[in-house]
Structure 1
Amino acid sequence: MTRKIDGVLTAIVTPFDARGDFDPEAMREQIRRQLAAGNGVFCGGTNGEFFVLNEQEKLALTQTCVDEVNGSAPVVAHIGEISTRDTVRLGKQVAALGVDAVSVITPYFIPLTQDELIGHYLQVADALETPIFLYNIPARTGNTLQPETVRRLAQHPNIIGIKDSAGSYDSLRGFLHAAEGIPGFEVLNGPDSLIHQGFVDGCSACISGLANVAPAEINAIWRRFQAGDIDGSRLAQENVTGLRCELYSVAFSPAAVKKALTLLGYVVGESRYAVCFDADDERRIRQILDTYLR
């Protein structure tokens, strides 16, 4: 039986130690923070810096998440690679670790037609037994899943939903419309600015990068919505939106999220890709955190 993926799943960062290696103990600490706030875990995604991790690191971080969560909350792991073959190979290994579902980004770098994307996803879905979420983030991949494509893919029994991180309400609304009348096919909201609206319109869950920094504040949007406090949920969203806008004006995620965590006193290391913060950047981030979290 497929576990329902709902509420808040944090697109959790991948901590690195002083040598730049994966730090499982630091990751366990971050997982415990999320569980304490009522959040599940989405690992190995954009905020987890999958694009600079090797295969063994991806497996190690997923195993760490599964072990630490220990069935107490959903764990979804990202497995998308450029090639179908590599996606299937990684997917089979990740699935064996006991995740509740996997997420598959569109192949990136090479532009693909909608038919080619369909062929890619069907091959992956046929090869895996673990439920699959499509993952749409065109700004990072150059490939966009169209709603009609998603509706076709939703007919596959092992494709159970889509994570939309296109960043616009029009995109999210298009996928919600495409999912209408398809039992068991869910839409997961990616942008932190649309969490509340996504729940109002029918999203089952959000995948939040900002929840690394503000786990309780993000969860409050869901918790209040579930309790029927729609105005309270909207107000919680407004606070989070302010934090998001100001933090990402300094630098974008995941680097900004990791720097904020470091300034909050957590040891998560630096991002592996080329990004730097000067003293003014750090001072601005401290001020933002003081304004919204303290």
Structure 2
Amino acid sequence: MQQIITGVLTAIVTPFDTQGELSISALKQQVKRQMKYDNGIFCNGTNGEFFVLNTQEKLAVTQACIDEAAGKVPVVAHIGEISTAETIKLGKQVAALGANAVSVITPYFVPFKQEELIYHYQKIADALTVPVFMYNIPARTGNTIQPETAKILSSHPNIVGIKDSAGSYESLRGYLDVVSDIEGFDVLNGPDSLIHQGFVDGCSACISGLANVAPEAVSHIWKYYQSGDIEKSKRAQDIVSELRKELYAVAFSPAAVKKAVNLLGENVGESRYPIIFSDSDIQEIKRIIAKFSL
């Protein structure tokens, strides 16, 4: 089976105007900015603040990304809701817009058994025609998709892979180990610190939040790796890893990313959730931007 996506997908920020309302024009500008470096789009994810978007906004974000991408780069939309039924409902609406695939976090707030997660994902995949990626982010949901669970779910013809954002190499390696011999099931790397190693070990793509800040640097990791220049890919990774370390020390990573994008002169507005940046925080982000010549 052909891979659904390869390379870099940017976990794109959701821009808001001065009134805190969705700015479609600014979003399309960010998609265009990413396409300059051949980066695909992952919308309505953590960096896209899906948790403070209503359903109509999620659909508008997806539509804008698909329209601007115009088939030149893939668009994957996150659709994870707390219930199976609401996830299916949103998934059908997103599929109708023409997304290349959807991504689904585990349900959150309530702790689930692995067999319950299997039921959840099977019901979603049964109901949708668009390809489904599972999305493991236990720090935010409280639920972990175990590697053996991913292997069981890989047998479903419409579950095409898993995005791992647990944040550790051990977690990523666990998925790669159990699905390495399964054709048509892809592992997508979430942590920006593991992009290069993920490609080396068999990930088909990465979903990068930092690509909002440094789209060229992140794209270099993939392009150099793909061309066989492993040393240059490693050096690009070192730059991205250092940027990640410094920027994420300032604030919760999606908020720090959005603030950095604004300070780069890209008007994407403020985060909707209550994040406060002190004057010293702003100066620190400006220092980081200058240091990495962003």
- TM above 0.5: yes
The one-letter code matched in structure 2 to 1:7 is G
Give the alignment of 1:85-100 within 5 angstroms.
85-100=85-100
Structure 1: any 5+ residue segments left out of the alignment? none
1:202-257 Cα distance to aligned partner (Å, 9 max, x none): 00000000000000000000000001000110010000101000000001221101
1:149-203 Cα distance to aligned partner (Å, 9 max, x none): 0000000000000000000000000000111211100000000000000000000
In the TM superposition, residue 88 of structure 1 has moved relative to its aligned partner by 0.3
The one-letter code matched in structure 2 to 1:112 is F
Local SS of the residue matching 2:221: helix
1:217 counterpart residue number: 217
The one-letter code matched in structure 2 to 1:231 is E
In the TM superposition, residue 293 of structure 1 has moved relative to its aligned partner by 2.6
| TM-score (normalised: structure 1) | 0.99
| Aligned residues between the structures | 294
Distance 2:211 2:114 in 1: 32
Give the alignment of 1:120-159 within 5 angstroms.
120-159=120-159
Distance 2:253 2:292 in 1: 18
Matched, 1:169 2:169: yes
Distance 1:27 1:288 in 2: 24
The structure 1 segments of at least 4 consecutive aligned residues displaced by more than 6 Å after TM superposition are none
1:247 counterpart residue number: 247
Give the alignment of 1:222-241 within 5 angstroms.
222-241=222-241
Give the alignment of 1:1-294 within 5 angstroms.
4-294=4-294
In the TM superposition, residue 2 of structure 1 has moved relative to its aligned partner by 6.5
Distance 2:14 2:264 in 1: 16
Local SS of the residue matching 1:28: helix
Closer, same or farther in 2 for the Cα pair 1:173/1:3, shift >3 Å?
closer
**Contact kept in structure 2, 1:189 and 1:198, CA below 8 Å:** yes
**Contact kept in structure 2, 1:2 and 1:100, CA below 8 Å:** no
Local SS of the residue matching 2:248: helix
Distance 1:19 1:108 in 2: 30
**Contact kept in structure 2, 1:13 and 1:258, CA below 8 Å:** yes
| TM-score (normalised: structure 2) | 0.99
The one-letter code matched in structure 1 to 2:282 is E
Distance 1:152 1:3 in 2: 19
The one-letter code matched in structure 2 to 1:145 is I
The one-letter code matched in structure 1 to 2:182 is I
In the TM superposition, residue 4 of structure 1 has moved relative to its aligned partner by 2.7
In the TM superposition, residue 11 of structure 1 has moved relative to its aligned partner by 0.2
Local SS of the residue matching 1:96: helix
1:3-44 Cα distance to aligned partner (Å, 9 max, x none): 630000000000000110110000011000100011000000
Local SS of the residue matching 1:37: coil
Distance 2:158 2:188 in 1: 16
The one-letter code matched in structure 2 to 1:113 is K
Q: How well do the aligned residues superpose, as a CA RMSD in angstroms? A: 0.9
